[in-house]
C-alpha cells in the first residue's frame, strides 16, 4: 500500500525514474523479441525468411491490438481506482481483464489458424512469392498456438506494473527475453528447426513468464490479487477497460493496415522508382519487404523504449489525476516528454550514421548477392524513415498522456491521425510515382503533420488542466 501512496507524495523525477526504468527495460525486452527472432532467422535461414516474417507483421499487430486494448485499459483503470483509494474496484478490474484476455485470445487463435492461408495472401496483396508465404505460414502456425498465453502474460504484466510493482514486471519480461535468447540459437542452429524453431522459442518463453505473472496475483503477499468472487463479468468495468484501451487497440489495428499497405506497395512497386537501389529484375519485391521488416524492427526498439517511459508515467499521472493533484500531473508529463524526445533523437542519430552496420546484424553479408542488396535497401529505408524521429517521441508521450487521464477520444484521435489521415493516402499515392522510395518518404511526411496536430491538442489540454488546478486551490 505504501508504494501506491508514494505516487502522490514522492519526488516526480524519482518516481519517473523508479517506474520508467523497469518499464523501459521491459518494453525494450518486448521489442528484442522481434530483433532476436529476425537476427537469428536472417543468419540461420536467410533473407527470404526475414521477408516471410515481415508478411506476418500485420497479423502480429492484430493480436497485439486486442492484447493492448485489455492490458493498457485495465492498467489505466487500476491506477485511477487505486488513486481514489478503491482497492476492491481495482481487483474487480484485474479479474475482468483476465476473463477478457482468455476469451479474446482463444477467439483470435481459432479464427486465424482456420483462415491463415487466406489472411497471408490478403496481407501480401497476393504478390508474395511461394517461398516467402511458406516461411510466413510456418512461423505463424506456431505463434498462434501460444496466443492465449501471450495475451494473459502481457496483460497481467501491465497490471503488475500499474499496481505498484514495476521492478517485478521488468524481471518477468527480462526472464522471457533471456529464455528466448537461449532457445532461438538452440532450435535454429543445433536442432535445425529453421523459422519454426524461432517461433517455438517465443511461445515457450512466454508460457514460462505467464506462469510467473499468474503466481504474483495468486500470492497472498500481493497487494492486488485474484478474488474468486470477482471472476464474473461486470459489464460496466468491461466497458471502462475497452473505452480506455480503444486508443492502443486502434493504433495497433492501424499499424496492421499500414504494414499490409507497405508490404503490398513494396511487392507491387519496389524496384520501379528512379531512386530505388534494387532493380525490379533482381527480385526487388521480396527484398524490399525484407528491408521494411528490418527497418521496422529497429524503429520499433526506440518506440518501445519511449512507450516504456509512457508506462512509467502511467501510474504517476493516473494516480495524481484521480487524486486531483494536477500540478504533479503536469510536471510528470513534461518530464516524460523531455526524456522521450531524447531517446527518439538517439534512434535518429544511429539510424542516420550507421544504417549499414545495423542492417548487417540481421543479414549474413558474406553470402553476397541478394543479402548484400538487402543490406543496401535497408540502409536507405532506415535513413528516410527516421528523418522526423526526434519529434516522434513527443507524439507518443502525448498520446499516452491523453489515455492515462481518461481522455480516450483525444488519445484515439492522436493515434489515428498519423496512420489513417496522413500515412495511408501517401502510401497509396507516392509508391506509384517513386517506387520503394515513395514508401520510405511517406512516413516522415506523415510524422510531420501528425506531430503538429498532437502539439496543438496537447497545449489545449494543458491549459484546461491549469484551470482545473485553480479551481481545486
Q: What is the per-residue pLDDT across 371-396, written as a single tens digit (0 to 9) for each? A: 888 899 999 999 999 999 999 999 99
What per-residue confidence (pLDDT) applies to 282?
60
The domain spans of the chain are: 26-472
Query: pTM score > 0.85 for this model?
Result: no
**Cα(124)–Cα(135) distance, rounded to whole angstroms?**
13
Q: Are 70 and 157 in contact (CB under 8 A)?
A: no
**Cα(439)–Cα(262) distance, rounded to whole angstroms?**
7
Helices (H) then strands (E): counts for the chain = 19, 0
Q: What is the per-residue pLDDT across 300-309, written as a single tens digit (0 to 9) for each? A: 889 989 988 9
Cβ neighbourhood burial of 117 (10 Å; 0-12, 13-18, 19+): exposed
Per DSSP, 229 falls in state G
**Cα(102)–Cα(79) distance, rounded to whole angstroms?**
22
> What is the DSSP track for 70-114?
HHHHHHHHHHHHHHTT-HHHHHHHHHHHHHHHHHHHHHHHHHHHH
Confidence of residue 452 (pLDDT cuts 50, 70, 90): very high
Cell of 122: 490478403
**Cα(389)–Cα(24) distance, rounded to whole angstroms?**
18
Q: Are 19 and 336 in contact (CB under 8 A)?
A: no
What per-residue confidence (pLDDT) applies to 160?
86
Tell me what the mean pLDDT of segment 336-354 comes to. Answer: 95
What per-residue confidence (pLDDT) applies to 439?
95
Q: What is the per-residue pLDDT across 16-28, written as a single tens digit (0 to 9) for each? A: 888 888 778 767 7
What per-residue confidence (pLDDT) applies to 367?
62
Cell of 327: 500540478
Task: Count other Cβ atoms within 10 Å, centred on residue 85.
Answer: 13
Confidence of residue 5 (pLDDT cuts 50, 70, 90): low
Cell of 192: 535445425
- pLDDT at 358 exceeding the cut of 90: yes
What per-residue confidence (pLDDT) applies to 88?
87
What per-residue confidence (pLDDT) applies to 19?
82
- Identify which has the larger pLDDT, 281 or 458: 458
Q: Which residue has the cell 524461432?
A: 198
What per-residue confidence (pLDDT) applies to 473?
64
What's the CA dihedral at 123, 37, 386, 285 to 10 degrees?
-40
Q: Are 217 and 225 in contact (CB under 8 A)?
A: yes
- pLDDT at 251 exceeding the cut of 80: no
Tell me what the mean pLDDT of segment 348-354 comes to. Answer: 96
**Cα(125)–Cα(120) distance, rounded to whole angstroms?**
9
* Residues listed for the chain: 473
Tell me what the mean pLDDT of segment 215-228 comes to. Answer: 86
Q: Are 78 and 404 in contact (CB under 8 A)?
A: no
Amino acid at each position: 500500500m505504501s508504494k501506491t501512496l508514494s505516487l502522490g507524495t514522492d519526488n516526480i523525477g524519482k518516481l519517473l525514474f523508479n517506474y520508467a526504468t523497469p518499464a523501459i527495460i521491459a518494453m525494450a525486452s518486448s521489442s528484442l523479441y522481434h530483433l532476436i527472432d529476425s537476427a537469428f532467422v536472417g543468419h540461420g535461414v536467410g533473407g527470404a525468411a526475414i521477408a516471410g516474417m515481415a508478411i506476418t507483421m500485420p497479423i502480429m499487430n492484430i493480436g497485439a491490438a486486442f492484447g493492448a486494448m485489455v492490458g493498457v485499459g485495465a492498467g489505466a483503470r487500476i491506477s485511477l481506482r487505486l488513486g481514489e483509494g478503491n482497492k476492491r474496484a481495482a481487483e474487480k478490474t484485474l479479474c475482468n481483464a483476465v476473463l477478457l484476455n482468455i476469451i479474446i485470445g482463444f477467439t483470435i487463435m481459432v479464427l486465424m489458424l482456420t483462415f491463415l492461408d487466406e489472411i497471408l495472401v490478403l496481407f501480401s496483396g497476393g504478390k508474395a512469392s511461394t517461398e516467402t508465404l511458406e516461411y510466413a505460414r510456418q512461423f505463424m502456425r506456431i505463434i498462434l498456438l501460444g496466443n492465449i498465453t501471450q495475451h494473459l502474460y502481457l496483460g497481467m504484466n501491465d497490471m503488475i506494473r500499474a499496481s505498484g510493482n514495476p521492478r517485478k514486471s521488468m524481471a518477468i519480461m527480462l526472464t522471457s527475453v533471456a529464455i528466448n535468447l537461449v532457445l532461438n540459437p538452440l532450435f535454429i542452429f543445433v536442432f535445425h528447426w529453421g523459422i519454426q524453431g524461432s517461433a517455438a522459442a517465443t511461445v515457450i518463453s512466454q508460457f514460462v513468464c505467464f506462469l510467473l505473472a499468474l503466481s504474483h496475483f495468486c500470492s497472498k503477499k500481493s497487494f492486488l490479487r485474484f478474488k474468486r468472487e470477482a471472476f464474473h463479468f461486470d459489464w460496466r468495468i468491461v466497458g471502462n477497460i475497452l473505452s480506455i484501451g480503444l486508443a492502443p487497440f486502434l493504433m495497433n489495428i492501424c499499424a496492421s493496415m499500414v504494414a499490409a499497405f507497405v508490404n503490398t506497395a513494396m511487392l507491387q512497386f519496389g524496384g520501379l522508382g528512379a531512386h530505388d537501389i534494387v532493380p525490379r529484375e533482381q527480385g526487388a519485391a521480396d527484398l524490399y519487404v525484407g528491408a521494411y521488416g528490418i527497418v521496422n524492427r529497429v524503429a520499433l526498439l526506440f518506440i518501445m523504449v519511449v512507450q516504456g517511459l509512457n508506462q512509467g508515467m502511467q501510474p504517476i499521472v493516473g494516480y495524481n489525476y484521480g487524486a486531483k493533484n494536477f500540478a504533479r500531473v503536469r510536471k510528470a508529463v513534461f518530464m516524460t516528454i523531455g526524456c522521450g524526445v531524447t531517446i527518439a533523437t538517439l534512434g535518429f542519430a544511429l539510424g542516420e550514421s550507421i544504417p549499414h552496420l545495423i542492417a548487417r546484424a540481421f543479414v549474413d553479408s558474406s553470402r553476397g548477392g541478394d543479402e548484400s542488396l538487402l543490406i543496401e535497401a535497408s540502409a536507405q529505408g532506415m535513413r528516410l524513415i527516421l528523418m522526423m524521429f526526434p519529434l516522434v517521441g513527443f507524439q507518443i508521450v502525448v498520446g499516452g498522456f491523453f489515455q492515462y487521464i481518461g481522455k480516450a477520444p483525444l488519445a484515439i484521435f492522436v493515434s489515428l491521425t498519423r496512420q489513417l489521415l496522413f500515412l495511408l493516402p501517401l502510401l497509396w499515392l507516392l509508391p506509384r510515382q517513386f517506387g520503394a522510395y515513395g514508401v520510405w518518404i511517406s512516413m516522415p511526411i506523415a510524422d510531420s503533420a501528425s506531430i503538429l496536430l498532437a502539439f496543438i491538442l496537447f497545449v489545449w489540454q494543458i491549459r484546461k488542466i491549469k484551470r482545473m488546478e485553480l479551481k481545486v486551490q
